[in-house]
Amino acid sequence: MTDAVSLIRAKRDGQRLADDDIRWLFEAYARHEVADEQMSALLMAIYFRGLDRAELRTWTAAMIASGDRLDLSSVGRPTVDKHSTGGVGDKVSLILAPLVAACGAAVPQLSGRGLGHTGGTLDKLESIPGFRASLTPDETLAVLAKAGCVICAAGSGLAPADRRLYALRDVTGTVESIPLIASSIMSKKIAEGTGALVLDVKVGTGAFMTSYEKARELAETMVALGEEHGVRTRALLTRMDVPLGRAVGNAVEVTESVQALRGDGPADLMEVTLALARQMLALAGLAGDKTGDPAAAIADGRALAAYRAMVRAQGGDPDAPLSQAAHTQVVPAPASGWLTGLDALKVGIAAWRLGAGRARKEDDVSASAGIICLAKPGDRVQAGQPLLELRADEQERFGPALAALEGAATVSDQGPPPPVSPVIEHVGPA
């Protein structure tokens, strides 16, 4: 007979877990026959010993089986989603979902909220007056049918085991385990019922994965999991050493996203967005279709129209003014020359301290707080010229934010840095 202590010992000692034992574990955990202390011990053993490919496939399948799966068969369009591992100024989803929908796919995007220095897609959208991120499965399908895309929170019925395991990982120092990260992300994405998935795996100072090697390992692991569970999956590795675009925050990122949908987005933001859109449309079988050109969908207004339709369908008013911060403060350039670096992590922490992020899941966020990058690496700056504009609802937030920005900007007089593409490489079957 299987028992939790035997599984903990087996994994602690480097043995692999049998498929039946993994399935028993999740069923017993759901019945509260396995205690949180025991599951925590097993997670720590996995952190040190890992899971092989077969174990991880079964582990993820058990997480999916712990709850419901959305049935998207009634949508009538090929379905494709995108997931980002999170970064600073990463408002890609707000542009990408309606853009891909405008090209003929259906995009059922289940997103999350920000924690720490990384922003949350739902927090950004909820800065739009009336916007509802929490939808029932029927409401999710209705918005998808009406607008072609939906961006909402994952319902409590999808992979509920992940919610419990994530809470344990958060307090036991096991968040960074690649098998546990991969199964957490992919169990929810597979349960949502999408036919295809493109992953944006960030790498750099402002990313969850700061090393290229770890980011690539995570990307390869998630692509394999998706393919093994019948979801066509690809990944892009993209840079997160510098904030993406110019806006970092909630309402300020919504404003920049709308500008991008009007054809006026920053070059780095648009390069990442269009690269992901092309991958999504290829997986959906729409790349060769006459309507499947994402750049054309922005140019002719289809993408903006899809965004406005989605916002309305989720209760928001796309024409309503967004909240403005009560206070602003400018950070000057430290020297004259070429701006060669703008540390994404420091900018993200500063935006968090201004009120745009949260330290705990239950914290509130400010819709109007944030940072505008008035210059980006590659620009020539003069000492004292405005480099960053900080926005906050309370004046006292500027001190901690300015402390976080100490040394964030690097200026050189050696000439402009060579241009670097934010897209590093493609991971997955050709």
Residue 57: inside a domain: no
Residues 264 and 351 in one domain: no
Q: Where are the beta strands (DSSP E) in 8-141?
A: 80-84, 107-111
Q: What is the DSSP letter of 355?
A: I
Residues 195 and 263 in one domain: yes
Residues 146 and 223 in one domain: yes
Residues 125 and 161 in one domain: yes
Q: How many CB atoms lie within 10 A of CB 64?
A: 22
State how far the Cα of 192 lies from the Cα of 184, in Å rounded to an integer. 13
**In the prediction, which pLDDT does 1 show?**
57
Mapped onto helix, strand or coil, the DSSP state of residue 159 is coil
Q: How many CB atoms lie within 10 A of CB 396?
A: 8
What backbone torsions phi and psi does residue 200 show, to the nearest 5 degrees? -105, 100
- What tokens does 58 get? 């079964």
What backbone torsions phi and psi does residue 41 show, to the nearest 5 degrees? -65, -40
Active-site residue numbers? 83, 162, 169, 184, 188
Number of structural domains, the chain?
Answer: 3
State how far the Cα of 89 lies from the Cα of 161, in Å rounded to an integer. 30
**In the prediction, which pLDDT does 329 show?**
98
Q: One digit per residue, pLDDT tens: the chain, 430 residues?
A: 589 999 999 999 999 999 999 999 999 999 999 999 999 999 999 999 999 999 999 999 999 999 998 899 889 899 999 999 999 999 999 999 999 999 999 999 988 877 667 778 999 999 999 999 999 999 999 999 999 999 999 887 888 999 899 889 888 989 889 999 999 999 999 999 999 999 999 999 999 899 999 999 999 999 999 999 999 999 999 999 999 999 999 999 999 999 999 999 999 999 999 999 999 999 999 987 767 799 999 999 999 999 999 999 999 999 999 999 999 999 999 999 999 999 999 999 999 999 998 777 777 889 999 999 999 999 999 999 999 999 999 999 999 999 999 999 999 998 888 889 999 999 988 6
Altogether, the residues listed in the chain come to a count of: 430
Q: CATH no. for residue 267?
A: 3.40.1030.10
Pair type for strands 423-427 and 232-239:
antiparallel
Residues 149 and 275 in one domain: yes
Residues 251 and 380 in one domain: no
State how far the Cα of 79 lies from the Cα of 408, in Å rounded to an integer. 40
- Alpha-carbon torsion angle 184, 186, 187, 189, nearest 10: 120
Query: Which of 243, 199, 197 lies closest to 85, judged by CA?
Result: 199
Q: Which domain holds residue 21?
A: 4-50
Give the pTM: 0.95
Residues 303 and 399 in one domain: no
